[in-house]
Amino acid sequence: MTATSEPPTSRIPGFYALSLVERQEVLRRAAGLSEADLAALSGDHGLAAEQADHMIENVIGLHALPLGVALNFVVNGREVLVPMAVEEPSVVAGASFMAKLARAGGGFTAACTPPEMIGQVQLLEVSDLPAAQAAILREKSGLLAEVDEIDPLLKRLGGGPRDLEVRVIQESPIGPFLVVHLIYDVRDAMGANAVNTAVERLAPRLEALSGGRAHLRILSNLADRRLARATCKILLAELAFGDYSAEAVRDGVLAAWAFAAVDPYRAATHNKGIMNGIDPVVIATGNDWRAIEAGAHAYAARSGRYTSLSTWGMDAQGNLTGQLELPLAVGIVGGATKVHPGARAALKLMGVTSASSLAEIIVSVGLAQNLAALRALATEGIQRGHMSLHARQVAIAAGAQGEQIDRLAAQLVAEKTVRVDRAEAILQEWNQLK
């Protein structure tokens, strides 16, 4: 199987019960991974300290995160295995289970707008703002043509400048100024370097046209021209579990979402739950999760009031419907994605061939993770499942080893006392009985 061929299925029953080595073997067969790919994903032969020393300053070593794989995802009809680098329990399990529920309704349908980023040039000391704005706009075609010659490779791939906008900022702490927006298609890159280079090139011409001084020349992380959107339908019959009817779960999810839609205090935690799904995939693929976070939360406040990034509703048949939309500036070329062996292997595992296809998977995982949190909150509460998984971390922190870990975690959950001090006390009792 080639690197880009799709796996037979992302449904792998009992995957969690396999040993680490067995899971790796399953993924190797499913996604056509090489031994080198597996070594990179496992951390055995991933990013080397020598490589890291050239990536950032004052390197002293490497910091690892657990890397899991979310199962059951179908995105635009394609089976996808999703790598997730995250330290928080229940995230991978929650996304996987919601993806399983979504399969009966066709999985996730996702789409992206063109990969257009915004570069900004701040023009200060402009004596006549309207006249300067008009002068720049008159020269738009020439300015775009100049920028178009900066990156011949990007141009050959179909990217480059698309438009130029000029904003007049009338009120600020330092008075009025102009802002020029360069709209730039970056193709399969995240685009920061390309856009920053382009606005640097434009700055002298903009100064001459405006009579002002070009101050900041920088990419905007509010990439609201580069949106990713995912939708799903959860069949009503899939929602029932335990003592909860399907209608009760559906209505509980809708009520929980309505809370986030109107209250910023709830929306902040609601959207954090979405990012619980998004960030781990972004990190696993070597992309800039800080940029994604900044853009997402700014987009959530675009109306002037911070609100939910997702929308949940009900169709005519009573099925639960969900939609998530946010800026997703991710790339599959350049930066850490290019130099980090684990990031390259993660992309291979997913079988992505473009930045857009990566964004479509990521936004789908965000929607799945959002549903996992809402479903838990609306039924048994967020703590039950979360704490069951958290108990294993507590057990390890207390010093449990091997078979003790699961045994101790089970006792902590049964006692409803998931604390390190209690875990240490139990371990001490066990040791005294030896």
Retrieve residue 54's tokens.
Answer: 């050239």
Is residue 297 within 8 Å of residue 279, measured between CB atoms?
A: no
**Axis-axis angle for helices 91-103, 264-284 (nearest 10):** 90
Q: Is residue 1 assigned to a domain?
A: no
Most confident of 23-27, 41-45, 233-237: 233-237
Set 149, 272, 315, 338: catalytic member: 272
Say whether both 134 and 242 belong to one domain.
no
Neighbours of 170 (CB within 10 A): 9
**pLDDT (mean) for 128-147:** 97
Percent share of the chain, pLDDT over 90: 79
Count of structural domains, the chain: 3
CATH number reported for the structural domain that contains residue 425 in this entry: 1.10.8
Residues 6+ apart with CB under 8 A from 285: 83, 330, 332, 337, 343, 346, 347, 350, 358
Q: Residue 177 is inside which H or E element, if any? A: strand 177-185
Q: How far apart are CA 272 and CA 374, in angstroms?
A: 12
Q: How far apart are CA 27 and CA 81, in angstroms?
A: 9
From 220, 235, 259, the end of a domain falls on 220
Q: How far apart are CA 256 and CA 189, in angstroms?
A: 36
Of the pLDDT bands very low, low, confident and very high (cuts 50, 70, 90), residue 6 is very low
Retrieve residue 179's tokens.
Answer: 């802002």
Q: Is residue 6 assigned to a domain?
A: no
Beta strands in 34-135 (DSSP E): 67-75, 78-85, 108-112, 116-124
Q: Tell me: the pLDDT tens digits for 306-336?
A: 999 999 999 999 999 999 999 999 999 988 8
Q: Is residue 199 assigned to a domain?
A: yes
Say whether both 261 and 372 belong to one domain.
yes
274 by DSSP, 3-state: which? helix
Q: How many residues does the chain have?
A: 434
Say whether both 80 and 211 belong to one domain.
no
Q: How far apart are CA 61 and CA 53, in angstroms?
A: 8
What pLDDT was estimated at residue 396? 87
From 199, 220, 241, the end of a domain falls on 220
Most confident of 8-17, 256-265, 399-408: 256-265
Q: Tell me: the pLDDT tens digits for 356-411?
A: 999 999 999 999 999 999 999 999 765 565 666 678 888 888 899 888 888 898 88
| Backbone torsion region of residue 315, taken as left when φ is above 0, otherwise alpha when ψ lies between -120 and 50, otherwise beta | beta
Q: Is residue 60 assigned to a domain?
A: yes
**pLDDT (mean) for 178-190:** 97
Say whether both 98 and 231 belong to one domain.
yes
DSSP assignments along 380-414, one per residue: T-HHHHHHHHHHHHHHHHTT--THHHHHHHHHHHH
Q: Is residue 3 assigned to a domain?
A: no
From 364, 380, 396, the end of a domain falls on 380
Q: Domain of residue 317: give its range.
A: 15-113+226-380
Q: Percentage helix, strand, coil, to 5, in the chain? A: 50, 20, 30
Q: Is residue 8 assigned to a domain?
A: no
Which of 165-174, 244-253, 275-284, 416-425 is the least confident region? 416-425
Judge residue 114's burial from the number of C-beta atoms within 10 Å of its C-beta, 0-12 exposed, 13-18 middle, 19 or more buried.
middle
The answer to whether residue 288 is catalytic is: yes
Q: How far apart are CA 228 and CA 184, in angstroms?
A: 17
From residue 408, alpha-carbon distances to 20, 397, 403 in Å are 21, 11, 9
What pLDDT was estimated at residue 118? 98
Say whether both 247 and 216 belong to one domain.
no
From residue 69, alpha-carbon distances to 15, 129, 232, 368, 398 in Å are 10, 53, 20, 14, 27
Which of 185-199, 223-237, 315-329, 420-434 is the least confident region? 420-434
CATH number reported for the structural domain that contains residue 51 in this entry: 3.90.770.10
Say whether both 24 and 92 belong to one domain.
yes
The answer to whether residue 272 is catalytic is: yes
Say whether both 257 and 360 belong to one domain.
yes
Q: How far apart are CA 322 and CA 143, in angstroms?
A: 42
Q: Is residue 10 assigned to a domain?
A: no
3-state secondary structure 12-33: CCCHHHCCHHHHHHHHHHHHCC
The answer to whether residue 406 is catalytic is: no
Radius of gyration of the chain measured on its C-alpha atoms? 25
Retrieve residue 101's tokens.
Answer: 């529920």
Q: Is residue 328 assigned to a domain?
A: yes
Say whether both 249 and 358 belong to one domain.
yes
**Parallel, antiparallel, or unpaired: how do β-strands 310-314 and 213-220 relate?**
unpaired
Residues 6+ apart with CB under 8 A from 355: 115, 187, 188, 189, 190, 330, 331, 332, 333
What pLDDT was estimated at residue 383? 56
Say whether both 282 and 169 belong to one domain.
no
**Parallel, antiparallel, or unpaired: how do β-strands 320-327 and 227-234 relate?**
antiparallel
What pLDDT was estimated at residue 225? 97
Q: Is the pLDDT of residue 79 over 50?
A: yes
Say whether both 291 and 373 belong to one domain.
yes
Say whether both 241 and 279 belong to one domain.
yes
Set 233, 340, 386, 390: catalytic member: 386
Neighbours of 31 (CB within 10 A): 24
Set 288, 325, 340, 360: catalytic member: 288
Set 6, 25, 88, 165: catalytic member: 88
Q: Tell me: the pLDDT tens digits for 52-74?
A: 898 899 999 999 899 999 999 99
Q: How far apart are CA 232 and CA 82, in angstroms?
A: 17
Say whether both 362 and 287 belong to one domain.
yes
CATH number reported for the structural domain that contains residue 198 in this entry: 3.30.70.420
Q: How far apart are CA 386 and CA 391, in angstroms?
A: 9
